[in-house]
Amino acid sequence: GVLKKKYLYPILGKEANFVKHFEKIIIMGSEKKVFEVKNTNLIANMISLTCALKILRKWNIKNITDEELIEETINFVLNGILARVC
């Protein structure tokens, strides 16, 4: 079923704070020219979704440890946002 509004809004608020946490880190990294990101909110949402990958895709992600998933997720995200140095 659908969550009642009195439960839904607190959950959505926590999720929004989770995304804002990533966005703050991305903004700080962008200001220091460590990250190269055009839309910090979009990227923060993408990272948040990536963090939930095992929960959302557990039937398709098998034989991988939590440590492997964390390492690969970090590599995936950093390869996408690190500034390119020529």
Candidates 56, 43, 48, 51; CA nearest to 70 is: 51
pLDDT at position 34: 94
pLDDT at position 26: 96
CA–CA dist 80, 83 (Å, integer): 9
What is the pLDDT tens value at each position of the chain, 86 positions in all? 677 888 888 989 999 999 999 999 999 999 999 999 999 999 999 999 998 888 888 888 888 888 999 999 999 999 999 987 65
Amino acid at 24: K
pLDDT at position 56: 86
- What global pTM score does this model have? 0.81
pLDDT at position 25: 96
